[in-house]
């Protein structure tokens, strides 16, 4: 008898075995989808992991219900990657499968399937001759008929979408309907693609300058010895142009490239740049495309003419490549590469390296501000290291100056959110027709409201956080569970009308900037203004076309964007970036500020950056002022060593969640004791996290700081054995618990 081990789209750690019915045996294989019964009368789309003849012991085995595919939809490389993710990130294999496949490709009941999209097309009925008699007295019909003949002649197409016809001829649907009723034109449905495939390449790759050419050669040399190389190039050094050349080399060898980017904001400018060179060889897989589009990209990748290049966010790691030769991880330091919720909590950069290895392909990590871990790997020889120190066309890196807001407040010179020095520089820039970016890492109007008399602060009913005030929408919002509340006018404690906003978000900054610079056009870019599918594109293109002079925004606009005319960048409050309870807060602050600074003075001449801080004495500013990445890196490394953080230790966080605080307390303590039996002092906690209640769940966290020399396989085995001992306790059976391997902070 033939058996199939399959993966179900459920948070289950193991695969399940089914009997392959006789008539299916010739047709089935690894990577095929099958529909199987599971639980009470439920059917799921599962993927075949392997076929074998070993009957499992002691359980009743059901039959596969039906076979979905005539070809595998998942290949060996992907299955190996899924298994690695499941093992390394301690995530159930079913969760990995769930994350990997577009949801339409794994329907739960048999109804919800991928639906192809059809459009109405028009063609002329060539078998009709006595047109004049047929159109009769309708002058309009006769005219439209002539227009259509002309159109079909010019376009040389057999059928044309109805939408296009009405647009191009200017005649109404009624006239067209008249011709259709007389059988002169024929309307028919035609399957069309959702993804725009009309891109033709419009330019060749730029010739590289000497620095870039040298870097390219060094990268290729490094690839002869090592699988991974870091390209550390200052902002605007032309890293993207080097990637384009590397991609061309892959194309020439008939190999595919995956180009990973952290967020969609980055992809709009970047995709146009890549499309200009690679046309329809390029597939785009970002977070704002819908599931139908996602499914089409998969199908295209499985077809005989797959995309040769895919640019995409995290999840594009999962598309079915066949001949992958190169993975580029742009802005490799970005923490958004780490998946937070739900499982699998994988790091896309590190997973990309593993993906590449399953193909024998290479990985290039690129950044102006590499993560400490990556730079360490490069410095210690694990990865290759190639450096670009000059901006393209040798433009100087921006000059960075500080404004001491504490001092300015003390001397009563800080009358607005912006220091007088910054206001003056903005006026100068505007006066010369240049553009300005103002950066504030907090959205909404104010991070919280407060009663000026008694200090009462409105908080979320479900989370242990204060509510953010969104003035434009007239609401208070919890940024953890997205629940909204009506703003309160009167304090519920002291019953005075004394509630006032505290602090400043992008909304407030925008409001003030509009008042300060009435003749300038101001736009804002943050999560709230970029909800629509094309909202980013619109803001970015308006700014690019100089329709907007001052752009206010969050970290969204700090990286990757390439505007010619920005001469000044203001970082309105640096302190908020640095004072977080997180071992990465300085690393992130440094990266963010240097990246934001990098948007200034990319073309023409040196740009300028103003950082407002109440604490300019902090050493981080010395490194920023001198653009001293290396010095900053060493200072961070010392701290990481002292406090047992990566790259010296490996972190695994274990989070416990329950509505009953006692349960979460005793459960996590019990788990920690079990861990300590083997791991001793490497086990920290359980602790109350910084935000200790989210959506009514109380949280506790255990942090493991594991020695590098411990075998990942053995530690994971041990952790899993602890988990099963824990689950044996009736009390803790329903406690929610998850692992976060290589937790970010």
Ligand X SMILES: Nc1ncnc2c1ncn2[C@@H]1O[C@H](COP(=O)(O)OP(=O)(O)OP(=O)(O)O)[C@@H](O)[C@H]1O
Q: Token pair for residue 284?
A: 């785009």
CB-wise, 664 or 719, nearer to Zn ion?
A: 664
Helix axes 210-225, 239-252, angle to 10 degrees: 50
Angle, helix 173-181 to helix 162-169, in steps of 10 degrees:
120
CB 21 within 8 A of CB 67: no
Q: What are phi and psi of 324, to 5 degrees?
A: -65, 130
462 makes contact with Zn ion (CB under 5 A): yes
Q: Does 552 bind ligand X (CB under 6 A)?
A: no
Looking at the Cβ atoms of 9 and 238, the one nearer to ligand X is 238
- List, in order, residues 6 or more apart from 554 with CB less than 8 Å away: 439, 440, 441, 442, 443, 506, 525, 526, 527
Token code pair at residue 296:
């089409």
Distance CA 279, CA 309 (A): 10
- Interacting positions 92-131 with ligand X (CB under 6 A): none
* Residue 186 to residue 179: CA distance in whole angstroms: 8
Cα(643)–Cα(448) distance, integer angstroms: 33
The answer to whether 398 contacts ligand X (rule: CB under 6 A) is no
Listing DSSP states for 49-112 in one string gives EEEES-PPSSS--PBP-EE--SS-SS-HHHHHHHHHHHHHTT--HHHHHHHHS-GGGS-SSSS-
Among 598, 601, 646, 647, binds ligand X (CB under 6 A): 598
CA 530 to the chain's CA centroid? 14
Q: Please identify, among the stretches 165-173, 334-342, 453-461, 529-537, the one whose residues bind Zn ion according to the rule CB under 5 A.
A: 453-461
Q: Does 239 bind ligand X (CB under 6 A)?
A: yes
Q: List the Cα angle 351/355/361 in 5-degree steps.
A: 130
Q: If binding is defined by CB under 6 A, does position 212 make contact with ligand X? A: yes
Cβ at position 603, least distance to ligand X in Å = 7
Q: What are phi and psi of 319, to 5 degrees?
A: -70, 150
Candidate segments 17-25, 229-237, 475-483, 630-638, binder of ligand X by CB under 6 A: 229-237
d(CA 270, CA 289): 16
**Would you count residue 467 as binding Zn ion (CB under 5 A)?**
no
Using rule CB under 6 A, residue 248 touches ligand X: no
Q: Does 245 bind ligand X (CB under 6 A)?
A: no
462 binds, among ligand X, Zn ion, none (CB under 5 to 8 A by kind): Zn ion
Residue 267 near ligand X by CB under 6 A = no
* 208 touching ligand X, by CB under 6 A: yes
Q: Binding pattern to ligand X, positions 150-189, x when CB under 6 A?
A: ----------------------------------------
Residues 188-207, interacting with ligand X (CB under 6 A): 206-207
Q: Is residue 665 part of the contact set for ligand X (CB under 6 A)?
A: no
Q: Please select the residue that binds ligand X; options are 143, 464, 475, 562, rule is CB under 6 A.
A: 562
How many CB atoms within 10 Å of residue 334?
A: 25
126: nearest Cα among 184, 190, 188, 189: 184
Nearer to ligand X, 394 or 531 (CB): 394
**Using rule CB under 6 A, residue 233 touches ligand X:** yes
Residues near Zn ion (CB under 5 A), total: 6
From candidates 480, 485, 648, 738, binder to Zn ion by CB under 5 A: 480
Considering only residues 351-390, where is the footprint of ligand X by CB under 6 A?
368
Q: At its nearest, how many Å lie between Zn ion and the CB of residue 479?
A: 8
Place of tokens 């997205």: 482
**212 contacts which partner out of Zn ion, ligand X, none, CB within 5 to 8 A by kind?**
ligand X
Contact residues for Zn ion, defined by CB under 5 A: 460, 462-463, 478, 480-481
- Chain positions contacting ligand X, by CB under 6 A: 206-209, 212, 233, 235-241, 368, 392, 560, 562, 598, 602
């Amino acid at each position: 008898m033939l058996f199939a081990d399959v993966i179900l789209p459920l948070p289950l750690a193991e695969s399940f075995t089914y009997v392959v019915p006789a008539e299916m045996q010739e047709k089935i294989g690894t990577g095929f989808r099958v529909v199987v019964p599971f639980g009470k009368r439920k059917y799921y789309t599962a993927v075949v992991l392997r076929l074998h003849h070993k009957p499992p012991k002691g359980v009743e085995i059901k039959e596969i219900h039906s076979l979905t595919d005539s070809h595998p939809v998942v290949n060996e490389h992907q299955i190996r990657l899924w298994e690695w993710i499941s093992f390394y990130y301690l995530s159930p294999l079913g969760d990995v499968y769930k994350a990997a496949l577009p949801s339409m490709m794994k329907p739960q009941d048999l109804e919800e399937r991928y639906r192809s999209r059809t459009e109405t097309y028009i063609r002329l009925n060539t078998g009709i001759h006595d047109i004049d008699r047929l159109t009769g007295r309708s002058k309009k019909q006769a005219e439209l008929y002539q227009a259509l003949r002309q159109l079909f002649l010019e376009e040389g197409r057999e059928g044309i979408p109805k939408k296009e016809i009405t647009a191009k001829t200017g005649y109404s649907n009624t006239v067209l309907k008249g011709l259709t009723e007389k059988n002169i034109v024929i309307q028919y449905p035609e399957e069309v693609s959702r993804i725009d495939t009309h891109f033709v390449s419009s330019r060749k790759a730029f010739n590289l300058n000497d620095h870039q050419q040298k870097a390219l050669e060094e990268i290729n040399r490094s690839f002869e010895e090592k699988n991974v190389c870091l390209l550390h190039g200052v902002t605007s050094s032309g890293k993207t142009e080097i990637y384009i050349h590397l991609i061309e080399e892959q194309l020439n060898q008939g190999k595919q490239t995956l180009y990973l980017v952290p967020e969609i904001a980055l992809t709009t400018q970047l995709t146009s740049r890549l499309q200009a060179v690679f046309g329809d060889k390029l597939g785009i897989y970002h977070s704002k495309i819908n599931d139908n589009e996602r499914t089409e990209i998969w199908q295209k990748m499985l077809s005989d003419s797959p995309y040769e290049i895919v640019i995409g966010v995290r999840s594009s790691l999962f598309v079915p490549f066949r001949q992958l030769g190169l993975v580029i991880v742009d802005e490799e330091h970005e923490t958004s590469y780490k998946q937070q919720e739900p499982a699998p909590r994988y790091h896309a950069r590190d997973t990309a390296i593993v993906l590449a290895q399953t193909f024998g392909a290479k990985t290039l990590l690129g950044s102006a501000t590499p993560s400490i871990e990556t730079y360490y790997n490069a410095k210690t020889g694990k990865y290759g290291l190639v450096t670009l120190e000059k901006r393209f066309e040798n433009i100087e890196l921006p000059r960075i100056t500080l404004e001491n807001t504490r001092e300015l407040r003390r001397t009563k010179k800080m009358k607005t959110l912006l220091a007088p020095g910054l206001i003056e520089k903005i006026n100068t820039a505007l006066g010369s027709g240049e553009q300005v970016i103002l950066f504030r890492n907090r959205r909404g109007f104010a991070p919280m409201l407060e009663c000026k008399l008694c200090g009462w602060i409105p908080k979320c009913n479900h989370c242990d956080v204060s509510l953010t005030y969104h003035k434009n929408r007239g609401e208070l919002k919890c940024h953890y569970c997205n629940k909204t509340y009506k703003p309160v006018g009167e304090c519920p404690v002291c019953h005075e009308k004394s509630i006032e906003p505290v602090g400043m978000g992008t909304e407030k900054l925008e409001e003030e900037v509009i008042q300060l610079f009435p003749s300038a056009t101001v736009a804002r870019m943050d999560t709230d203004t970029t909800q629509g599918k094309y909202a980013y594109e619109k803001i970015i293109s308006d700014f690019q076309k100089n329709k907007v002079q001052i752009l206010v925004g969050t970290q969204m606009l700090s990286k990757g964007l390439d505007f010619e005319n920005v001469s000044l960048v203001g970082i309105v409050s640096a302190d908020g970036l640095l004072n977080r309870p997180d071992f990465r807060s300085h690393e992130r602050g440094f990266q963010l500020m240097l990246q934001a600074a990098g948007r200034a003075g990319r073309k023409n001449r040196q740009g300028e950056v103003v950082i407002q801080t109440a604490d300019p004495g902090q050493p981080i500013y010395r490194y920023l002022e001198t653009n001293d990445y290396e010095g900053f890196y060493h200072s961070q490394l010392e701290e990481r060593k002292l406090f047992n953080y990566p790259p010296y230790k490996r972190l695994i966080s274990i989070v416990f969640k329950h509505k009953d605080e006692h349960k979460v307390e005793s459960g996590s303590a019990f788990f920690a004791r079990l861990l300590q039996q083997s791991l001793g002092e490497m086990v920290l906690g359980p602790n109350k996290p910084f935000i200790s209640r989210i959506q009514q769940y109380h949280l506790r966290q255990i942090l493991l700081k594991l020695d590098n020399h411990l075998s990942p396989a053995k530690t994971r085995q041990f952790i899993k054995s602890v988990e099963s001992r824990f689950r044996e306790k009736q009390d803790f059976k329903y406690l929610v618990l998850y692992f976060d391997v290589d937790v970010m902070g």
